[in-house]
Amino acid sequence: MENITGETLLKEELRDISEYFIFQQDNAPAHRAKATVDLLSTETPAFILPTLWPPNSPDLNPVDYKVWSGLQEQVYKVKVNNVDELRQRIQTVWVLG
């Protein structure tokens, strides 16, 4: 049986979605950790390095400050049991509002 780690799954997921998104940093400590920056730099073609993105910039990233909080509230109204359910719920809430 193949040993699949969280990092392996994350890399696969990043490769699947990175052609549709640009990954940017907000300079939060967890986001600027060397391991995080290295992973995103190697696995996503359009990654914006933390040094090139100003911290605390709601005008540059409205999704973090407006859209995600509303989406998150709707998605987590009921406990999420697994990743597939989370994905489905996010997609449903995004489409239906």
- Of 72, 48, 74, 69, the residue nearest 60 (C-alpha): 48
Q: What pTM value is reported for the model?
A: 0.43
Instruction: For 40-83, write each residue's pLDDT tens digit.
Output: 888 877 777 777 776 666 666 666 667 778 888 999 999 999 88
| Ramachandran sector of residue 49 (left: φ over 0; alpha: ψ -120 to 50; beta: rest) | beta
Residue 85 identity (one-letter amino acid):
E
